[in-house]
Amino acid sequence: MAKQSQNPYRHPFVRWIEHRLPIISFFEHTLKHYQVPKNLSFLWTGGFIAGFMLVVMIITGILLAMHYIPHPDHAFDSVERIMREVNFGWLIRYLHANGASLFFLVVYMHMFRSIYYGSYKSPRELLWIIGMIIFLIMMATAFLGYVLPWGQMSYWGATVITNLFTAIPWVGDSILEWLLGAPYVGAPALNKFFALHYLLPFLMFLMVFIHVWALHTNGSNNPTGVEPKTAEDTIPFHPYYTVKDLLSITAFMVIFAFFIFFAPNFFGEPENYIPADPMVTPAHIVPEWYFLPFYAILRAIPDKLGGFVAMISSILVLFALPWIDRSKVRSLTFRPISRALFWVFILDVIILGWAGAKPAEGNYIIIGQFATAYYFIHFLILVPLVSRFEKPSGLPESLSAYYKNSCHD
Ligand code: HEM
């Protein structure tokens, strides 16, 4: 009875629901009353766009799965049928295929934003780690999905990457056979990849829920990296950030629509419009653009196992970032040396991506090797050293003070 009297709603139906499941007050709290730093830039709308893209990918994926046949004899043709005969099949497929690229673009920006503003630092380490787990699942999902159309690049990409497991001493061959259900990429593997490609996005959805839960526990970081202290430093999420998120997503959808309607194969690989042929190896096997930096690291080491370990380490090192960076100051705005290093790091990742797209020969390999070496030097030597000794400059007393004393707004 006491709970009924605390029920703040007037409408009898809303009161009825709230009394049994306090979901209305939950959403009111998380959207309306939730206090957020007042200075979040448009970069803080990336998480919302990523969440939107996850939903788009799940819906279009389910629609595609209704017409797709996961068998080597039918997969390629079933995709062609979706494109030509299924009502709006072309739109659903282009939304899904281009959506994958734009989803990665948004998540990479979200990650680089978090790195620049030190959002991985205490007390948000777990939020960062959950984000990294989402990133791993996302990479696995994209890799598995790319195999499904069963084009030349699907087949040979899957063959090259799954073959890496054979580099593991003693148990490598058995692991590969267990993964593929055969010693090579064939019907059992395609069926398995389809099942997992359908499943993993739902796991991602669950992880995103936990990600946002962790976010709401300590609140958002902000461009100054200084925690809000007084009521003056914050504003309610609604209407300020609901409107900002909506503006961002509208702009994003214009870009998304441009690719779908005017350049639907921009991110695609022509080779993948040729049905998979185990007897014909393509001249250059390249993954999608979002894997290229990691692919360059894999190829930089002239040993299969070494390359595999380097590639895995390049991802694992990101998990440790909250402990690698020792500085107490979050935002790179107040850490000039670290800020310069950040931009050199971005350049290094771009060079890695470029090298990964080139044939594995001559100078391309050497450039890839230098860029790989720098990648690890950045995280294992430069960041730990500089973050320990660098003196911050211009760090404000409080979030509001920063905007009062200067013209940053
Ligand atoms: C499907 C993928 C993802 C979704 C839907 C998602 C969603 C969100 C949302 C809604 C926010 C709050 C708004 C914002 O700060 O932009 C957020 C914050 C954050 N995310 Fe993600 N995220 C995803 C992937 C990742 C990844 C891969 C990482 C890093 C490895 C990451 C790290 C963070 C961090 C550190 C914050 C806190 C930022 C701050 O407060 O400054 N997220 N995420």
What residues form DSSP beta bridges with 36?
235
**Bridge partners for 234 per DSSP:** 37
CA separation for the pair 241, 235 (Å, rounded):
9
277 part of the active site: no
From first CA to last CA, the distance across the chain in angstroms is: 49
Is residue 341 within 8 A of residue 130, CB to CB? The reply is: no
Is the CB of 152 within 6 Å of ligand 1? no
User: What does 330-389 look like in DSSP terms, one character per residue?
Assistant: --GGG-HHHHHHHHHHHHHHHHHHHHHHS-SSHHHHHHHHHHHHHHHHIIIIIHHHHHHH
Is the beta carbon of 332 within 6 A of some atom in ligand 1? no
User: For ligand 1, atom 3, which residue shows the shortest CA distance?
Assistant: 50
| 297 and 261 part of one domain | no
Residue 401 lies in a domain: no
Same-domain pairing of 256 and 329: no
Q: Name the active-site residue from 18, 233, 245, 348.
A: 245
The yes-or-no answer on residue 77 being catalytic is no
Among 211, 218, 240, which is best to mutate for testing ligand 1, by the most ligand atoms less than 8 A from CB?
A: 211
DSSP state letters, 266-330: SSS-GGGGSB--TT---S-----GGGHHHHHHHHHSSSHHHHHHHHHHHHHHHHTHHHH---S--
Q: Which residues pair with 35 in a beta bridge?
A: 236
In this structure, the residue with its CA closest to atom 9 of ligand 1 is 47
CB-based contacts of 191-195 (< 8 A; 24+ apart in sequence): 191/70, 191/71, 193/70, 193/144, 193/147, 193/148, 193/158, 194/65, 194/68, 194/70, 194/144, 194/148
Is residue 14 one of the residues assigned to a domain?
A: no
Residue 200 lies in a domain: yes
Shared domain for 369 and 312, answered yes or no, is: yes
Q: Is the CB of 127 under 6 A from ligand 1?
A: yes
The enclosing domain of 52 has a CATH number of: 1.20.810.10
- For residue 134 and ligand 1, the question of a CB distance below 6 A is answered with yes
Is 245 among the catalytic positions?
yes
The CATH number of residue 321's host domain is 1.10.287
56 Cα distance to chain centroid: 15
Give the span between the Cα atoms of 225 and 37, in whole angstroms: 10
208 lines ligand 1 (CB under 6 A): yes
The verdict on the CB of residue 40 being under 6 Å from ligand 1 is: no
Tell me: do 280 and 347 sit in the same domain.
Answer: no
- pLDDT score, position 1: 43
- Give domain status of residue 407, yes or no: no
Q: Are residues 57 and 170 in the same domain?
A: yes
Are 174 and 138 members of one domain?
Answer: yes
Alpha carbon distance 199, 137 (integer Å):
10
Question: For the chain, what is the domain count?
Answer: 2
Tell me how crowded residue 211 is: count the other CB atoms within 10 A of its CB: 22
* C-alpha 166 to ligand 1 mean position (Å): 35
Domain termination residue (choose one: 285, 308, 343): 285
Of 215, 330, 399, the residue with max ligand 1 atoms within 8 A of its CB, to mutate for a pocket test, comes to: 215
Same domain, yes or no, for 343 and 279? no
pTM, full prediction = 0.95
Query: Is 271 in the same domain as 356?
Result: no
**Tokens linked to 286:** 């390249």
Same domain as 115, residue 150 = yes
pLDDT recorded at residue 406 = 65
User: Range of 214's domain?
Assistant: 39-218+243-285
Ligand 1, atom 13, lies closest to the CA of 47
Spacing, Cα 357 to ligand 1 middle (Å): 28
Q: State residue 31's pLDDT score.
A: 81
Binding site membership of 39 for ligand 1 (Cβ less than 6 Å): no
| 70 and 212 co-located in one domain | yes
Cis peptide before 123 (omega within 30 of 0): yes
Residue 262 lies in a domain: yes
Quote the DSSP letter at residue 11: S
Residue 2, in any domain of the structure: no
Kindly state whether residue 33 falls inside one of the protein's structural domains: no
Q: Give the closest residue (by CA) to ligand 1 atom 19.
A: 47
Residues 196 and 318 in one domain: no
Q: Look at residue 352 and tell me if it is in a domain.
A: yes
pLDDT tens for the chain, residues 1 to 409: 445 667 889 999 999 999 999 999 998 888 888 999 999 999 999 999 999 999 999 999 999 999 999 999 999 999 999 999 999 999 999 999 999 999 999 999 999 999 999 999 999 999 999 999 999 999 999 999 999 999 999 999 999 999 999 999 999 999 999 999 999 999 999 999 999 999 999 999 999 999 999 999 999 999 999 999 999 999 999 999 999 999 999 999 999 999 999 999 999 999 999 999 999 999 999 999 999 999 999 999 999 999 999 999 999 999 999 999 999 999 999 999 999 999 999 999 999 999 999 998 999 999 999 999 999 999 999 999 999 999 999 999 999 988 886 655 4
For residue 244, indicate whether it is catalytic.
Answer: yes
Looking at 285, 312, 338, the residue that finishes a domain is 285
Q: Give residues with Cβ within 8 angstroms of 330, minimum separation 6.
A: 117, 118, 119, 121, 221, 225, 226
pLDDT confidence of residue 408: 56
- CA of 350 relative to ligand 1 center, distance in Å: 22
* Ligand 1 lined by 131 (C-beta under 6 Å): yes
Domain boundary among 231, 251, 285: 285
Selecting among 216, 271, 313, 398, the annotated active-site residue is 216
Same domain, 275 and 306: no
State if residue 126 touches ligand 1 by the CB under 6 angstroms criterion: no
Residue nearest to atom 38 of ligand 1 (CA): 119
Ligand 1 lined by 107 (C-beta under 6 Å)? yes
- The question of whether 229 is a catalytic residue gets the answer no
